């Protein structure tokens, strides 16, 4: 019975994988046929959207100047961590395209995180947050690392206690949430940070200008790379405003990558859904600013963008891309680098004698 059950599960997983490949190939064929009838720009516009020039609004969490300023302070606030040495910016650095340049981040007590820190830039446009989609939105995501024992290592109760021990934050929360009797709460910490994170968008990439009608915004090589990106089926998963972030997919649809890229003990979204079909399934990452966010994949083990493109060809599409094709697709990906956010480092409210002390 155990063998039969395993065989049935394997059959359905294989069928799901084949269906995924067929869908990708169908999408690529339709796009390729469309390009035989229309020009490349028209097809690109049907698949992708430019980043807007202004920050996105969050449902149920309206932005105000006071909330935005508070969120910026909290984003850079190391006292939200147990040892007062880690902030959101430690792993999602504004000056490094929203990542930290490590395979996996270093957290509380020098612990290593399990996955590569995804960029926070343009994360507001993703369908969910984290590699496994366990947070529905930016607000839910913002509260996660603070209370994660491997990351910032504190508790929701202590984070609130810490901020209440800093008079400047008591005042700032009162201004950001003026209609609340007790504004300095853990959920409001997350809400303020989310409002700030929603402003971390990168418009006006060459590809955005191209989508807006400037056909000279891309070089000839980048246009050839875009055409390959669509023809080969990359755009079946990497589409929309973020060129990703809208769906989940198995890593290794056609062929499993090496275990250095796909650690066997990290099975991805199945830990959230408890569905066997979600073994080694991860959220498709955004490709916005991808040239700035090495290393790649959830394992952070691909340090070269050309290598990452080639791996994706074999594992996800069953295609051995030629070196010339890899170069052209990579050239297109370079055109996804937009204007980086200009953020002035905030002056944080000072601690006082009664402010809780950091952990040793």
22 has binding-site annotation: no
Task: Say how far apart CA 111 and CA 118 lie, in whole Å.
Answer: 18
Last residue of a domain, one of 174, 199, 224: 199
Tokens at residue 302, please?
């691909």
User: Alpha-carbon Rg of the chain, whole angstroms?
Assistant: 22
Task: Indicate whether 8 pLDDT > 50.
Answer: no
96 found inside a domain: yes
Task: Name the least confident of 14-23, 46-55, 270-279, 304-313.
Answer: 14-23
3-state secondary structure of 289: coil
88 has binding-site annotation: yes
Task: Indicate whether 4 pLDDT > 90.
Answer: no
Q: For residue 56, name the pLDDT band (cuts at 50, 70, 90).
A: confident
- Are the C-beta atoms of residues 350 and 165 closer than 8 Å to each other? no
Task: Say how far apart CA 90 and CA 98 lie, in whole Å.
Answer: 10
Task: Say how far apart CA 148 and CA 1 lie, in whole Å.
Answer: 40
- CA 41 to mean position of chain CA atoms: 26
Helix axes 138-147, 156-164, angle to 10 degrees: 90
3-state secondary structure of 58: strand
Would you please indicate which residues are annotated as catalytic (active-site) residues?
Answer: 151
Number of domains in the chain: 2
Q: Tell me, what's the pLDDT at 35?
A: 52
Q: List the CATH number of the domain containing 76.
A: 1.10.760.10
Stretch 33-60: mean pLDDT, rounded? 84
Q: Tell me, what's the pLDDT at 20?
A: 52
Predicted TM-score (pTM) above 0.85: yes
Q: Tell me, what's the pLDDT at 55?
A: 83
pLDDT tens-digit readout, 104-160: 999 999 999 999 999 999 999 999 999 999 999 999 999 999 999 999 999 999 999
Q: Are residues 138 and 226 in the same domain?
A: no
Task: Indicate whether 181 pLDDT > 50.
Answer: yes
Report which of 273, 279, 286 is spatially closest to residue 247, judged by C-alpha positions.
286
Q: Are residues 252 and 313 in the same domain?
A: yes
348 found inside a domain: no
Q: Are residues 195 and 208 in the same domain?
A: no
Task: Say how far apart CA 248 and CA 13 lie, in whole Å.
Answer: 15
pLDDT over 70, % of the chain: 89
Last residue of a domain, one of 155, 170, 199: 199
**Which residue's structure tokens are 């902030």?**
87
Stretch 55-67: mean pLDDT, rounded? 92
Q: Tell me, what's the pLDDT at 179?
A: 95
Q: Are residues 195 and 210 in the same domain?
A: no
Task: Indicate whether 98 pLDDT > 90.
Answer: yes
352 found inside a domain: no
Task: Indicate whether 189 pLDDT > 60.
Answer: yes
Q: Tell me, what's the pLDDT at 320?
A: 96
Q: Tell me, what's the pLDDT at 93?
A: 98
84 has binding-site annotation: no
303 found inside a domain: yes
Task: Name the least confident of 12-16, 112-116, 230-234.
Answer: 12-16
Pairing outcome for strands 281-283 and 248-250:
antiparallel
314 found inside a domain: yes
Task: Indicate whether 164 pLDDT > 70.
Answer: yes
Q: Are residues 264 and 291 in the same domain?
A: yes
Q: Could you give the C-alpha distances from 349 to 77, 188, 211, 267, 346, in angstroms and in order?
A: 10, 18, 43, 42, 9
Stretch 80-94: mean pLDDT, rounded? 98
Last residue of a domain, one of 178, 199, 220: 199
42 found inside a domain: no
Q: For residue 38, name the pLDDT band (cuts at 50, 70, 90).
A: low
Q: Tell me, what's the pLDDT at 190?
A: 98
Phi and psi, residue 11, nearest 5°: -60, -45
Task: Indicate whether 349 pLDDT > 70.
Answer: yes
Q: Are residues 126 and 84 in the same domain?
A: yes
Q: Are residues 183 and 222 in the same domain?
A: no
Q: Are residues 119 and 173 in the same domain?
A: yes
72 found inside a domain: yes
Q: Are residues 223 and 178 in the same domain?
A: no
Q: Tell me: cis bond preceding 12? Omega within 30 of 0 counts.
A: no
Q: What is the dihedral of CA 298, 299, 303, 304, to 10 degrees?
A: -50
Please give the DSSP secondary-structure letter assigned to residue 212: T
141 found inside a domain: yes
Task: Say how far apart CA 190 and CA 192 lie, in whole Å.
Answer: 6
Q: Are residues 191 and 243 in the same domain?
A: no
Q: Are residues 195 and 215 in the same domain?
A: no
Stretch 233-261: mean pLDDT, rounded? 96
Q: Show the domain range for 137.
A: 65-199
Beta-ladder partners of 249: 282
Please report the sign of the dihedral spanned by the C-alpha atoms of residue 159, residue 89, residue 75, residue 141: negative
Q: Are residues 136 and 225 in the same domain?
A: no
């Amino acid at each position: 019975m155990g063998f039969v059950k395993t065989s049935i599960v394997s059959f359905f997983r294989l069928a799901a994988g084949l269906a995924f490949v067929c869908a990708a190939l169908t999408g690529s064929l339709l796009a390729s046929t469309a390009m035989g009838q229309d020009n490349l720009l028209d097809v690109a516009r049907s698949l992708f959207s430019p980043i807007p020039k202004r920050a996105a609004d969050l449902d149920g969490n309206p932005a105000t100047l006071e909330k935005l300023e508070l969120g910026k302070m909290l984003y850079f606030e190391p006292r939200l961590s147990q040892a007062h040495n880690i902030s959101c910016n430690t792993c999602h650095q504004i000056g490094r395209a929203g990542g930290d340049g490590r395979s996996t981040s270093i957290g509380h007590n020098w612990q290593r995180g399990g996955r590569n820190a995804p960029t926070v830039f343009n994360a507001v446009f993703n369908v969910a947050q984290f590699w496994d989609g366990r947070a529905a939105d930016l607000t839910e995501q913002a509260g996660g690392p603070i209370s994660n024992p491997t990351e910032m290592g504190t508790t929701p109760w202590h984070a609130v206690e810490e901020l209440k021990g800093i008079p400047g934050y008591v005042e700032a929360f009162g201004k950001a949430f003026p209609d609340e009797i007790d504004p300095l709460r853990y959920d409001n910490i997350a809400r303020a940070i989310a409002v700030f994170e929603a402003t971390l968008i990168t418009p006006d990439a060459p590809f955005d200008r191209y989508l807006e009608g400037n056909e000279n915004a891309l070089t000839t090589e980048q246009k050839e790379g875009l055409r390959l990106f669509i023809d080969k089926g990359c755009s079946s998963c990497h589409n929309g405003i973020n060129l990703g972030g809208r769906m989940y997919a198995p890593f290794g649809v056609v062929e499993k990558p090496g275990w250095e890229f796909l650690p066997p003990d990290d099975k991805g979204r199945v830990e959230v859904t408890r569905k066997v079909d979600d073994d080694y399934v991860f959220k498709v990452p955004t490709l916005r600013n991808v040239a700035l966010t090495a290393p790649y994949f959830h394992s952070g083990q691909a340090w070269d963008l050309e290598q990452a493109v080639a791996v994706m060809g074999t594992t996800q599409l069953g295609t051995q891309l030629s070196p010339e094709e890899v170069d052209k697709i990579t050239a297109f990906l370079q055109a996804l680098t937009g204007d980086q956010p200009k953020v002035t480092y905030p002056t944080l409210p000072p601690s006082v004698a009664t402010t809780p002390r950091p952990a040793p």
